[in-house]
């Protein structure tokens, strides 16, 4: 379970990105974080991935106070998270397969089992046939799928994606939405941010709508 208890975030020299936010996301939820550009969606997700700390309040993930984690504890904490970054962070000099393999190499996974997992992750996002392709040869939607495959190859219980439908046409956005629905159906807790009020709107089991860092009423 994820719980924000009266969380505020003020960036240095900045405005309040989040103000007095209290929310709960249950295990197995498909949670949508919506709002305009600058509403605080990325900041909210970064609190969960421990990329930012609250200025005030606490963020608990499965009972763990994420803001109090020491740097040394972060890799262990993040092992249970799948993160799809807004800028994807693909390695353009490596194949699709090698991009997905990277997290397993880092965590020292045995190579035969790792290759099976990479293929399974590519298959789940419909990219198995493109395993040898370089990212530059993939379409925008395929690159997004690749970023999702890399995020799930460690089989995380919590999958977080920051605006995964940005820059995609409506048809491709629907395909990407279906991938998140599929993970939700097999019990993964999924949190997705979006500027598009229709994205996953019907399927969400938890809706967090932000306006200038506050929950909309
Ligand atoms: P969203 O994801 O909804 O577009 P963000 O969480 O990225 O919103 O940003 C919320 C507010 O915080 C914005 O006003 C943004 O300019 C500000 N902000 C985000 N990151 C930083 C940062 N690293 N330093 C200063 N201000 C930031």
Contact 43 CB / ligand 1 (< 6 Å) = yes
Query: For ligand 1, what atom is nearest to the CA of residue 43?
Result: 6
Question: Does ligand 1 lie within 6 Å of residue 9's CB atom?
Answer: no
217: pLDDT strictly greater than 80 = no
Report the atom number in ligand 1 closest to the C-alpha of 36. 3
Q: Is the C-alpha dihedral spanning 92, 95, 100, 102 positive or negative?
A: negative
Separation of alpha carbons 141 and 46, rounded Å = 23
- Residue 7 CA to residue 9 CA, distance in Å, equals 7
| Alpha helix positions (H), the chain | 41-48, 74-78, 96-106, 111-124, 140-152, 170-185
Its sign, for the CA torsion 112, 116, 122, 127, is positive
Is the distance from CB of 101 to CB of 114 less than 8 angstroms? Answer: yes
Is the per-residue pLDDT at 88 higher than 90? no
Q: Are strands 81-84 and 158-162 parallel, antiparallel or unpaired?
A: parallel
Residue owning the nearest CA to atom 5 of ligand 1: 40
Beta carbon of 11 within 6 Å of any ligand 1 atom: yes
Q: What is the tens place of the pLDDT at every residue in 1-53?
A: 999 999 999 999 888 999 999 999 999 999 999 999 999 999 999 999 999 99
| Alpha carbon nearest to ligand 1 atom 11, residue | 17
Domains of the chain: 26-55+68-215 (3.40.50.300)
- Judged against a pLDDT cut of 80, whether residue 72 lies above it is answered with yes
**Nearest residue to 139 (alpha-carbon basis) of 108, 113, 175:** 175
The tokens describing 43, both together, are 């900041």
Q: 15 CA to middle of ligand 1, Å?
A: 8
Q: According to the model, what pLDDT value does residue 82 have?
A: 96
* Ligand 1 within 6 A of CB of 208: no
Ligand 1 contact, 34 CB (< 6 A): no
């Amino acid at each position: 379970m994820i719980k924000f208890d009266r969380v505020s975030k003020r960036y240095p020299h900045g405005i309040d990105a989040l103000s007095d936010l209290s929310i709960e996301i249950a295990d197995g939820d498909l949670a949508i974080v919506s709002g305009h550009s600058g509403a605080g969606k990325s900041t909210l997700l970064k609190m969960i991935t421990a990329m930012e700390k609250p200025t005030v309040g606490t963020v608990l993930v499965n009972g763990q106070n994420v803001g109090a984690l020491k740097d040394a504890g972060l890799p262990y904490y993040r092992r249970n998270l799948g993160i799809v970054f807004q800028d994807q962070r693909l390695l353009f000099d490596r194949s699709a397969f090698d991009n997905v393999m990277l997290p397993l190499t880092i965590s020292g996974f045995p190579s035969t089992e790792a290759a099976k997992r990479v293929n399974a992750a590519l298959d789940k996002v419909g990219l198995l046939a493109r395993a040898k392709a370089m990212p530059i040869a993939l379409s925008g939607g395929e690159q997004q799928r690749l970023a999702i495959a890399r995020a799930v190859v460690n089989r995380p219980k919590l999958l977080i994606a920051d605006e995964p439908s940005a820059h995609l046409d409506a048809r491709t956005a629907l395909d990407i939405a279906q991938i998140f629905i599929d993970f939700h159906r097999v019990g993964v807790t999924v949190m997705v941010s979006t500027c598009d009020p229709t994205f996953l709107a019907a399927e969400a089991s938890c809706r967090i709508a932000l306006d200038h860092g506050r929950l909309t009423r």
